[in-house]
Amino acid sequence: MNTTPFCLHPEYISRREGVPFDDRRYRDEWQREVYELARELFDKHRCKKAVDFGCGSGFKLIKYFGDVEFAGVEIEPALSFLRQKYPDRIWHSGEEITSELFDSDIVICSDVIEHLSDPDVLLSAIGESSAKIVVISTPALELLADRGLSPRLGPPANPAHLREWTTLEFKQYVSQFLPISRHLVTNIAQCTQVIVAIRSDLLF
């Protein structure tokens, strides 16, 4: 078992501080298939509420979950943008990560974890919440490295990323907090890996 911080390579160098990332201008150019998978699971397991942590512009959340109950979680300036553009929807601040943020049937966390200084806090909160299904994505480092898009031992080429995981490292890391049901690369071109965690004891 990997005992290094966040299950990264022992020689991996994380970035100490990332450049804040503002994706208010983006729609579904990235992670589209992550939300498609999340909606498929939502319907299959007859879920009633979704929570999207790090929902950005809200475009994908509205597109794929606009017809059901949901809550979006963001930080500024995206949080104010969402509250102004969609005032009839529920938007929470992600400044303080607590298990209550994730009390839902399904939690989506699409390409957020690589931006966090201490992702243990996020995964612990999700694990302690009432979430039944979790869909979490992040770039697959070995795919990035093979294409010369990011160094294998860090720090990430993307200045907004603090660290990146290979598929093996990410599986080892997330499995410490959540019961992994599926782990796959959903978009080769965008190097997207996705983990699905399903707490079968909580499914109805």
pLDDT band at 199 (very low <50, low <70, confident <90, very high): confident
What CATH number should be reported for the domain whose range is 30-198?
3.40.50.150
Q: Report the chain's terminal Cα–Cα distance, integer Å.
A: 33
pLDDT band at residue 26, thresholds of 50, 70 and 90?
low
Q: What is the pLDDT of residues 123-135, one digit of tens each?
A: 999 999 999 999 9
Residue 150 · residue 158 · CB < 8 Å: yes
For residues 116 and 90, the answer to whether their CB atoms sit within 8 Å is: no
What pLDDT shows up at residue 1?
A: 52
What's the DSSP call for residue 193? E
Q: Is residue 202 predicted with pLDDT exceeding 60? A: no
- Counting beta carbons within 10 angstroms of the beta carbon of residue 135, is it exposed (0 to 12), middle (13 to 18) or buried (19 or more)? buried
Query: What residues does each domain of the chain span?
Result: 30-198
At residue 203, the pLDDT reads 57
Contacts with 100 (C-beta within 8 Å, 6 or more apart), sequence order: 129
SS3 50: strand
Nearest to 114 by CA among 55, 167, 41, 163: 163
